[in-house]
Amino acid sequence: MNLNLGACDRAFPGFLSVDIVPPADVIADLSQPWPWEDSSVDEVRAHDIFEHLPSRILTMNELHRVLKPGARATVEVPSATKGAGWAQDPTHLSPWSMNSFQYFEAGSFAHQRLAKSYGITAAFRLVSLLERMYKDVHEDVFKITAVLEAVK
């Protein structure tokens, strides 16, 4: 099973569209425990959704829980440290930066030192991490794209 989280009106062939409102294939509130079984998902695309969820820890723990061992997720979020992307949308709840991903990266200093005390159960291999700039109406927007592989 492949999931397109926060689909809105964006569909990807071979992916179930998931959002909190129609017209998604699956209606789900991703700020709560996710409705899929442990290790049941082959791939996730989460473009422009994680910043709308209140808890980075719950979000990443749930992402890790539902992914099969070695399965990948592509996460795209606006940078909270560059450009207007994070600040411009009044529905953004969770800020992300390039460094945010280290807390969920298996073997990183932040993960080894802090994950347990923070309640982080997720562990990913960081396949790639990049930042791109987009022109927007009045100010530039920077987006971060992380490709993560579930370590189980």
Return averaged pLDDT per consecutive 10 residues of the chain, 152 residues in all. 94 96 95 98 97 98 98 98 92 96 97 97 98 93 97 98
pLDDT of the residue at 71: 98
pLDDT of the residue at 9: 85
pTM: 0.96
pLDDT of the residue at 44: 98
Q: Is the peptide bond before 22 cis (omega within 30 degrees of 0)?
A: no
pLDDT of the residue at 54: 97
Q: 2-150, what's its fold?
A: Rossmann fold (3.40.50)
What are the extents of the domains in the chain?
2-150
CA dist 66 and 129 (Å) reads 21
pLDDT of the residue at 8: 85
